[in-house]
Each structure stands twice: as C-alpha cells, then as structure tokens.
Amino acid sequence: MERDIRVRKIKDGTVIDHITAGQALNVLKIIGFAEEFPKTTVTVAINVPSRKAGLKDIVKVEGRELRSEEVDKIALIAPKATINIIRDYRVVEKKKVSIPHKLEGVLKCANPNCITHFEPVKTVFMVERKDPIKLRCHYCERVMGEAEIVTQF
Amino acid sequence: MEFEGRDIISIRDFSLEEIRYILDSALRMEARMAEELCLLEGRILACLFFEPSTRTRLSFETAMKRLGGRVIGFSKAGVASVAKGENLTDTIKTVANYADVIVMRHPREGAARLAAEVSDVPVINAGDGSNQHPTQTLLDLYTIKKEKGRLDVTTAIVGDLKYGRTVHSLAHALAMFGAGLILVSPPGLEMPPEVLSDLRELGAEVTRSSLEEAVREAEVLYVTRIQKERFPDPEEYEKVKGAYKITPETLTKAREDLIVMHPLPRVDEISPEVDLTRHARYFQQVRNGIPVRMALLALVLGAE
C-alpha cells in the first residue's frame, strides 16, 4: 500500500490529538499507563507534522477512556489537545480540553512551606494564564509554571 | 464601601479604591487618637501569634485598646494547643467562638487564608511565613501618602528583595498606584522573577540600580534587613552588609525631600546618625501602624 500509515486505528479507547509537541511523554505520565494499566496498548507519535501547529504529538490509548481529572491535567501542559473517544473504530465523541479558572485538588503546591502540606485541606490554584500556563496557589500565593507542574506527574 | 465581616489576608485582595478608603479611614482615626474612643467597646480581639513578634502584636493590641475593645491571645505556639498536636483549623474554629476578630501570625505561607476560610469571624493576617503582611503594606502606604501627599512616588527598595515578605506586597501596591520602582539588592537576593513579572503586568516601571544612583533619584528609600542566615559564607555577608548600609554620608547626594523608611527592627543597615537627619521617617512609620490598624479593626467589625 502506497499510503503511509504510521499508526494503526484503534477499536475502543481514546485518541489524544494536537498535544503540544514534546509533551506526549508527560501525557503518558498523567494517564499513568505504566502503573495503572500495564497491559494497555498505548501508541505514541512525537513531532508529527501538523498544518495548524507545525508539529504535534499524538497518544492513542486502547480500551480505556480518560477520567475528567486526567483531562484537566492534560489541559495544563497541552492546552490545544483534543480528546477523541473511539468505540468500534468510530469517533463517538470529540472534545477540546479546557483549562478551568480554578483547579481543586488536582496538583500539589510547589512551595514546601505552604499550609496545604500541613493541614487537611484540598489544594486550590487559580489559573492566571492559560498558555503558557501560570497558576497561583490560592493559599500561599506562590506561582507555578509548566516546569513545576510536570514534575508532579 | 462594605468592609464589615471581611478578612484582611493579602494586599492582592484589594482594589485601588478600597486601599484609598482604608487610608482615608486611618487618617480620620489618627485625628481622633487623643479622644477616648469606645467604637469597639465590648468587642474582643484574639491575637494568635504562632511566631514571635513584638511590634506587630503590641501595635494591634494598642489599636484595639484605643478603640475601647479587649484583647486575648498567645504569642508563642509552644504554649498553645498546637504543642498538643491540634491542627490550625481546629484552633481557629475554637477561637472564633471566643472573639469577634482574629489577628494571626503563622510561620507557614497560606495559613491566614486557610484560617479565614474556617473562621466565622474576620481574620487579619499579621504575617504568614514569607508570603504577606498586608497591614505592614497599608501602614507603609499610609506613611508615604502622609509624607508625600501621593502614592505614585519613585521608590527605591533596598536589601533582601528575595525573601522579604514586606517588599513584595509593598512593591505590588505601589505598582498599582503607578509608582516607579528602583530595586537595589545584593547578588542572590534579587526580586524573584514571578514578582517582577507581576509588577510589569501592573504596568510598573521597574529598574535595577546601585545604591548611590538609587539614593540620587528616589523620593522614598525603603530599606530592609539583610538576614545573615541567607548567606552560606559569613565573609560574603559581611561584605554585602557594609555595601548596603545607610549612613548620613550615603544620603549626601539625596534629594532634599527624600524620606527613609524601614519596617523595623533594624540591625545595622541604617546607622543611628541617620535618625537625626531630615530624611528619617521609620519611627513615624511605626507610629502610623496604630491608626491604620485601628481603622482596619473598626472597618471589619462594622464600627467605622
């Protein structure tokens, strides 16, 4: 066959497309495929030419749909990503990730002296900028950027 | 403007108009300080100082008593329930049943915001770790406004700009009012990039400069302490300490109307001889803490 198909279609699962180039491995960490789903087939494409973004990454996860908490985390590092839910080889749902104004209980504060590490309280971050991401801890007011966020995945 | 029941946690929570309102209210309080006021008669302030403090605690206690109110509290966490293992949330929920307003200093950043969320009575942050100390910022602004008649003044901030909680919130507030900022700090103690980017987002003109140059240009010289423990090498500390010390000689090229401020306590970053110059304002600054804190207590308790 002449057509160059690098990644085969999946029967059931999720295709995360339009991931910011270079972030595919962080997406894998977010969905925790190695620990939680050791037998899940995951296909990763890095630096795929894209008309819109120049280059993009793609992750295909077979037999699994993503939890909303995972989608929220993906949005933080790949704000232009799309989530395609596949059932029986067909896209049954397609949505863009979106960063909420406020993130609750999703991340830990990078400030080791933040009160959230010492008291029984859910972390809250206000999203001050979406791309590139800038979060501010609601409690200690410390700012976190992408570099501090990805170390948590 | 509605302040009753409100918490005072961070300068970032206040708009320009709200800050102006607080400063005007403090001015009215100052005019009435000679009177025996009973605006807060029958009200109780709980001062919870999980970290030692002299002036801030005494200043709040004085403010409350000048308004006719009473004060309870502790000034060392070691004697408090905390030593028995109680968490902050429970301590605050308990104290909120005893008092009408809580003033708290705590070593962890974010503690004041958390306290405010679990308390039924207003919480005033008297310092949460290296984060915020909003009443210090308000009294600094009050001092500048009183001395200069305006807040868009060229202000040089000197010393530890990395860890000093007072300088971050002061710089933020001054930037809101359109002040020009000149930053003077030893290597390694510069203003953190995220604070700088905040200041620039507020439209502030921020420059870095030497102490000599800053003294020539500034209308306000805000000096802070450089803490010895920030330096791994004691020799390095000694060098830096000398280079940033303010003496009458340092001020010879200053503008006639330059004022020198300091949040105090000072160690040796301003020589005592400066106290006698026309520039010194740090003791007036301390005094201004009283009307500012009186105004805040009266405002959050709905008595102003």
pLDDT computed for residue A57 by the predictor: 96
Structural domain total, chain B: 2
Q: Select from A119, A142, A143 the Cβ nearest to the Cβ of B109.
A: A142
Q: Do B53 and B139 share a structural domain?
A: no
Radius of gyration of chain B (CA): 19
Note whether B110 contacts A120, CB cutoff 8 Å.
Answer: no
Residue A126 shares a structural domain with residue A64:
no
Of the two residues B233 and A26, the one the predictor is more confident about is A26
Same domain, B244 and B294: no
Same-domain status, A36 and A72: yes
B178 plus B97 within the same structural domain: no
Question: Which domain covers residue A125, as residue numbers?
Answer: 102-150
pLDDT of residue B85: 75
Q: Residues B147, B44: one domain?
A: no
Taking contacts as CB-CB distances below 8 angstroms, the residues of chain A near B90 are none
pLDDT tens digits, B200-229: 999 999 999 999 999 999 999 999 988 777
User: Are B116 and B163 members of one domain?
Assistant: no
Residue B246 lies in a domain: yes
Give the pLDDT score at B131.
92
Domain containing residue A55: CATH number: 3.30.70.140
- Nearest chain B Cα to A116, which residue? B110
Provide the percentage of residues in chain B whose pLDDT is more than 70.
Answer: 98
Q: What does the pLDDT average to over B278-297?
A: 98
Q: How confident is the model at residue B63 (pLDDT cuts 50, 70, 90)?
A: very high
Contact B225, B240 (CB under 8 A): no
Mean pLDDT over each residue of chain B, to the nearest integer:
93
For B91, the closest chain A residue by CA position comes to A119
B contact set with A (CB within 8 A): 10, 12, 87-89, 106-111, 113-114, 128-132, 194
Check which CATH number belongs to the domain holding B79 and give it. Answer: 3.40.50.1370
Domain containing A132 — which CATH number? 2.30.30.20
- Domain limits for position B294: 11-132+289-300
Please tell me the predicted confidence (pLDDT) of residue A89: 94
What is the 3-state secondary structure of chain A? CCCCCCCCCCCCEEEEEEEECCCHHHHHHHHCHHHHCCCCCEEEEEEEEECCCEEEEEEEEECCCCCHHHHHHHHHHCCCCEEEEEECCEEEEEEECCCCCEEECCCCCCCCCEHHHCCCCCCEEEEEEECCEEEEECCCCCEEEHHHHHCCC
- What pLDDT does B261 receive? 98
| Residues B117 and B141 placed together within one structural domain of the fold | no
CB atoms within 10 A of CB B157: 28
pLDDT tens digit string along A18-39?
999 999 999 998 988 767 667 7
Query: Are A88 and A119 within one domain?
Result: no
Q: Is residue B74 part of a domain?
A: yes
* Count of domains forming chain A: 2
Q: What is the pLDDT of residues B67-96, one digit of tens each?
A: 999 999 998 766 666 667 789 999 999 999
Residue segments in chain A with a per-residue pLDDT below the cut of 70: 1-7, 34, 36-37
The mean pLDDT of B257-283, rounded to a whole number, is 95
